[in-house]
């Protein structure tokens, strides 16, 4: 509540002589004000016109069909083809200079993704080749259909962990054919979900997962992933299948005396230190980004060679052993379209698809903003969905955009999505020729690669900024974070979504209201809490409602306005200040009102009548004034008491209020 009075006297009241002496503030007396504009109603629209307008604003706000207007049939076909396959648009201006940048970038991210793919497949409890399969097919499809120039496509740590956790909850035997079939089924329905969101223009749904919740979820998932790698890093054979931190720590320390392998620890920590050192160098000197990019491949090559010549695998060092050679086998017949695992595949696909989509769109928008070009979110969803649907039929699991690889792609000088095509062909070469060479790669090195990669997902600076800006956002962040590390990835995700929705509900059901005062020497009215020098008007109370008025908040807004009125009346009575005769409701921020809101205003009028206070309304928007007229609320309030500005309302009634 505003503090209007001090020591029993009026502290910030406007002298009514200031208002009366201002020629732009008088309506009564010898001098007459210039014409005061009344609030106009918008042109009446039919029900169909109103529905069409709202539908277009909701689903087609970017007007995607504008470029097709007044075009010939052949041109429309070309434009349609370019809309589905953007490569046919930007490829016309492609040149050798662009290819040089894309070639270098593609080779760089390929050297990074090969060891990461092998490691991430293990997070999903799949054989290593499935990670390589995914980085071969998915980027190739995306390059033709995606609109981002910088995003690098492939398996990522968080989605791999989420998928592995959800799949293993359904099928404990991760080596069984059913587990692999369920992985393909989940990938298929993840793609269907993403395509559906894009085609139905429902991409705005992913915005319900707030930035704060994503920061917490990603940070918790990063720690969970890193803890899971202790099995490979320490050489533990019997390790818990649970992902919460307590179970993992218990599993680690319960075998500390006899289950750890010192050779494995030496290999893992040595290469982890090397990876972190290269990341530090790349962070300090941006032009040396390639050092961190190729370091995982260097680790794999050196460690594989060392294990081979020392035969450390005979001393308990776990190795990859076998990666199947050859291109992706077809897997369309493996997808469950009926049976016991059909519904599980849909559920897992829906969850993993949404998480993958959120990550990819966020990455694409980030780099698009850095290079100042636009991203079509719905087109991205269709591209990602198509990519995963095709991937599910070619032995791939859920793919999305990788932030670490996209950052390397960007810094390596990529110009277009051709860098993804280059990476894809390098993966093809790897599958056809190189995979047998990974036989002696130690699991400890793969664990080190994953740990080094996921550390970037822990954004401490973002969490600190959330604390400074919005405590509720920080709560959402921490809720998701602790949900992931102390329970499971899916519980953390559920908490993240729940807190995001809770914030929306609180903002909708408990909107802000503010008492306004006049800034000295101006005709501007502002929140008296924000501007302590803003003075209130004798005999008047001005309240601003900062939200649309719906069934969920209408009673709260009415009660809040009446509370402001009662509190201010007590203060003014105790100071012998003129009692409140007029309540002005400033409605500029009110974008809409429903029938419950109309009824709340009717109830407010009844309450004010008992208090002998008149209601004035300032600046209702077009939708609001239209509904006021339709409900005949304007008749109850009075046409002469609805004003375009607060200043008009004050200048009209302030002399009466001070009589």
Strand partners, 401: 153
Q: How far apart are CA 558 and CA 402, in angstroms?
A: 49
**337 has a pLDDT exceeding 60:** yes
Beta carbons of 650 and 19 less than 8 angstroms apart:
yes
pLDDT at 32: 45
Average pLDDT over residues 652-658: 67
Residue 366 neighbours by CB distance under 10 Å: 18
Give the CA distances from residue 104 to residues 177, 352, 414, 518, in Å, rounded to whole numbers and listed in that order.
Answer: 39, 32, 8, 62
pLDDT over threshold 50, residue 13: no
HSE of 97, CA atoms in CB hemisphere, 13 A: 1
pLDDT at 655: 60
Task: Give the separation between CA 611 and CA 459, rounded to whole angstroms.
Answer: 55
- Asked whether residue 274 carries a pLDDT value surpassing 90, the answer given is yes
pLDDT at position 2? 42
Cα-to-chain-centroid distance, residue 529: 32
Q: How far is CA 83 from CA 76, 79, 151, in A?
A: 10, 6, 19
Write the CB contacts of 470 (distance below 8 Å, at least 6 apart in sequence): 212
Contact status, residue 541 vs residue 568, Cβ threshold 8 Å: yes
pLDDT digits (tens, 9 = 90+) for 64-76: 777 778 788 888 8
Instruction: List pLDDT tens digits, range 139-165.
Output: 999 999 998 999 999 999 999 999 999
Residue with tokens 């599910």, as numbered in its chain: 392
pLDDT of 409 strictly over 80: yes
Mean pLDDT, residues 595-611 taken together:
94
Q: How confident is the model at residue 11 (pLDDT cuts 50, 70, 90)?
A: very low
Query: Per-residue pLDDT tens for 488-522?
Result: 888 888 888 888 888 888 888 999 999 999 999 88
Task: Phi first, then psi: give them for residue 584, nearest 5 degrees.
Answer: -100, 125
Residues in the chain: 659
**Torsion angle, CA of 564/566/570/573, rounded to 10 degrees?**
100
CA–CA dist 141, 130 (Å, integer): 17
Helix axes 289-310, 96-123, angle to 10 degrees: 50
Residue 598 in this model has a pLDDT that exceeds 50: yes
Average pLDDT of the residues of the chain: 87
H or E segment at 402?
Answer: strand 400-402
Q: Is the pTM of the predicted complex or chain greater than 0.75?
A: yes
Q: What is the CA radius of gyration of the chain?
A: 32
**Mean pLDDT, range 629-644, rounded to an integer:** 92
DSSP characters for 487-518?
T-HHHHHHHHHHHHHHHHHHHHHS--EEEEEE
- State which H helix or E strand residue 178 sits in: helix 177-199
> What is the rounded end-to-end Cα distance, in angstroms, of the chain?
26
Banded model confidence at residue 243, pLDDT cuts 50, 70, 90: confident
User: Confidence band (pLDDT; 50, 70, 90) for 376?
Assistant: confident
Higher pLDDT, 145 or 1: 145
- Percent of the chain exceeding pLDDT 70 equals 94
In the chain, how long is the greatest CA-to-CA distance? 107
pLDDT at residue 179 greater than cutoff 80: yes
More confident residue, 449 or 62: 449
Q: Is the pLDDT of residue 14 over 50?
A: no
Alpha-carbon separation of residue 480 from 10, 160, 402, 471, 485 (angstroms): 49, 18, 21, 14, 9
Distance CA 465, CA 472 (A): 12
Band the pLDDT of 138: cuts 50, 70, 90: very high
Distance separating alpha carbons of residues 378 and 448, to the nearest angstrom: 36
Edge to edge, the sheet with strand 582-586 lists 525-527, 513-518, 540-545, 582-586, 614-618, 642-643
Of 379 and 423, the structure prediction assigns the larger pLDDT to: 423
């Amino acid at each position: 509540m505003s503090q209007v009075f001090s020591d029993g006297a009026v502290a910030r009241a406007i002298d009514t002589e200031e208002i009366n002496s201002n020629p732009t503030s008088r309506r009564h007396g010898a001098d007459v004000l210039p014409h005061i504009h009344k609030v106009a109603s918008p042109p009446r629209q039919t029900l169909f016109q109103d529905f069409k307008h709202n539908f277009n604003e909701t689903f087609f706000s970017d007007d995607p069909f504008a470029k097709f207007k007044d075009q010939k049939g052949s041109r429309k076909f070309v434009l349609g083809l370019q809309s589905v396959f953007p490569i046919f648009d930007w490829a016309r201006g492609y040149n050798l200079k662009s290819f040089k940048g894309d070639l270098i970038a593609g080779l760089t991210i390929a050297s990074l993704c090969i060891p990461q793919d092998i490691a991430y497949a293990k997070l999903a409890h799949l054989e290593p080749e499935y990670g390589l399969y995914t980085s071969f097919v998915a980027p190739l499809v995306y390059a033709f259909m995606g609109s981002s120039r910088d995003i690098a496509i492939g398996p990522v740590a968080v989605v791999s962990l989420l998928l592995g956790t959800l799949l293993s909850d359904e099928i404990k035997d991760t080596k069984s054919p059913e587990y692999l079939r369920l992985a393909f089924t989940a990938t298929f329905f993840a793609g269907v979900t993403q395509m559906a969101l894009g085609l139905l223009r429902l991409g705005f749904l992913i915005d319900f997962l707030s930035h704060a919740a994503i920061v917490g979820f990603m940070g918790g998932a990063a720690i969970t992933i890193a803890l899971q790698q202790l099995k490979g890093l320490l050489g533990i054979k019997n390790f818990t299948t649970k992902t919460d931190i307590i179970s993992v720590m218990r599993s680690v320390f319960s075998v500390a005396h006899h289950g750890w392998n010192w050779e494995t620890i030496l290999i893992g920590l040595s290469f982890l230190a090397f990876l972190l050192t290269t990341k530090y160098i790349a962070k300090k000197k941006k032009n040396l980004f390639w050092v961190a990019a190729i370091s995982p491949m260097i680790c794999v090559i050196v460690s594989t060679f060392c294990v081979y010549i020392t035969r450390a695998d005979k001393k308990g060092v776990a190795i990859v052993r076998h990666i199947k050679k050859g291109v992706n086998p077809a897997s369309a017949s493996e997808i469950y379209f009926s049976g016991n695992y059909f519904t599980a595949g849909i559920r897992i696909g829906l969850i993993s698809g949404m998480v993958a989509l959120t990550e990819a769109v966020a990455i694409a928008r980030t780099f698009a903003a850095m290079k100042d070009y636009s991203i079509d979110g719905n087109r991205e969803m269709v591209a990602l969905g198509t990519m995963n649907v095709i991937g599910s039929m070619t032995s791939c699991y859920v793919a999305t955009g990788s932030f670490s690889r996209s950052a390397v792609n960007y810094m390596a000088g990529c110009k277009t999505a051709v860098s993804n095509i280059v990476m894809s062909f390098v993966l093809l070469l790897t599958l056809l020729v190189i995979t047998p060479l990974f036989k002696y790669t130690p699991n400890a090195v793969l664990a080190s690669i994953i740990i080094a990669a996921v550390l970037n997902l822990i954004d401490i600076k973002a969490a600190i900024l959330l604390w400074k800006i919005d405590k509720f956002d920080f709560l959402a962040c921490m809720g998701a974070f602790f949900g992931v590390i102390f329970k499971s990835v899916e519980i953390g995700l559920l908490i993240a979504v729940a807190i995001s929705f809770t914030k929306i509900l609180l903002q909708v059901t408990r909107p802000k209201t503010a008492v306004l005062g006049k800034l000295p020497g101006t005709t501007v009215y502002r929140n008296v809490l924000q501007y302590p020098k803003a003075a209130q008007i004798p005999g008047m109370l001005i309240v601003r409602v900062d939200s649309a008025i719906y069934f969920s908040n209408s009673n709260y807004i009415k009660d809040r306005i009446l509370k402001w009125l009662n509190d201010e009346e007590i203060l003014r009575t105790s100071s012998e200040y003129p009692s409140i005769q007029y309540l002005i409701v400033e409605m500029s921020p009110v974008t809409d009102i429903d029938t419950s809101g109309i009824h709340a205003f009717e109830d407010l009028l009844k309450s004010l009548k008992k208090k002998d206070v008149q209601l004035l309304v300032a600046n209702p928007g077009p939708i609001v004034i239209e509904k006021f007229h339709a409900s005949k609320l304007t008749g109850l309030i009075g046409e002469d008491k609805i004003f375009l500005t607060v200043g008009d309302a004050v200048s009209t009634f302030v002399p009466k209020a001070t009589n």
